Amino acid sequence: MSERFSVYHVPNPLTPLYALGSAILGRCVHSGDPLGPPWPKYFAPHIPDHPARASVYGFHATMVAPFRSKVPAETLAGTLDSVTLGTDAFDLGPLEVSLLEPGFPALVPKRVPRALTDLEERLVKTFSALSLPIEPDDLARREPLTVRQRALAKKWGYPYVLDQFRYHLTLGDPLTEKEEGMGRDRLNYLDLLRSLLTGEVTSGLRLDSLCLCRQASRGAPFRVISVSGFRPGQEPRPQGDEARPCDDIAPDRLERPYAPEFSEADLPGLK
């Protein structure tokens, strides 16, 4: 069985942040529809193509990394509901574009709420009981790891959990210096992302739901299959055939990619 599941925080699909992030990656993780880049064509020589690897995962922040499951999807959805049911929604505060190791751009909170790390720990420990151990090949692909990260991967299935966890909304594949001048273009690309992802677009992100996602086979795109909202004091939603399908988040409800007007003068480094 090659299918995998994950638990993601996916920003509200009707917000400019989701539309922008998804357009940068080239795909909507809800509908699976391809999206065009959110910048003018004259920026094209200065920016990477749609990232192949990051596009597979869609615009998201990982709360439980991809895993092979011991149980059906319905059980996973019910388990996620049980976690979110008693969880209060919280704000993530302002976000900023940063370059994370090994060199990929991402949006990260300027300050990490305690509620976020507590939630991640609860999710990791809950879903570990429902997942199969990490495969040796997967562990080898993640090297080099520290001793601590390797131990976490063997115990919890992923090296970047608990004290190694860092919330981030991935914006692309690692940027590499493939040719002379790439260092300058890398800086320009980060400037472009920072110009797009600023102000109100990134200041009001609220963690009030989590998505269960499924990958049908290795290399296939992840898709949202259920959404669990933070609803203290309410009963979990029905499971199985009565569960709310992802299809009710219809593509026609998604706003068109948010594209602020730019001119070449906005980013002098691009000239």
Percent of the chain residues past pLDDT 70, beyond the cut: 76
Q: What's the one-letter identity of residue 92?
A: L
Summarize pLDDT for 232-256 with one digit per residue, the tens. Answer: 655 444 444 443 333 333 333 333 3
Write the Ramachandran bin of 249: left for phi over 0, alpha for psi from -120 to 50, otherwise beta.
Answer: beta
Whole-angstrom CA distances from 97 to 65, 84, 128, 202 are 22, 28, 30, 10
Q: How far is CA 170 from the centre of its chain?
A: 6
Q: How confident is the model at residue 115 (pLDDT cuts 50, 70, 90)?
A: very high
CATH architecture for the domain at 4-270 = Alpha-Beta Complex (3.90)
Q: How is the chain split into domains, by residue range?
A: 4-270
Supply the pLDDT for residue 94. Answer: 92
Count CB neighbours of 44 within 10 A.
Answer: 10
**Predicted TM-score (pTM) of this structure:** 0.83
Supply the pLDDT for residue 196. Answer: 84
Q: Which residue has the higher pLDDT, 203 or 240?
A: 203
- Residue 100 has φ and ψ, to the nearest 5°, of -100, 155
Residue 181 pLDDT greater than 60, yes or no: no
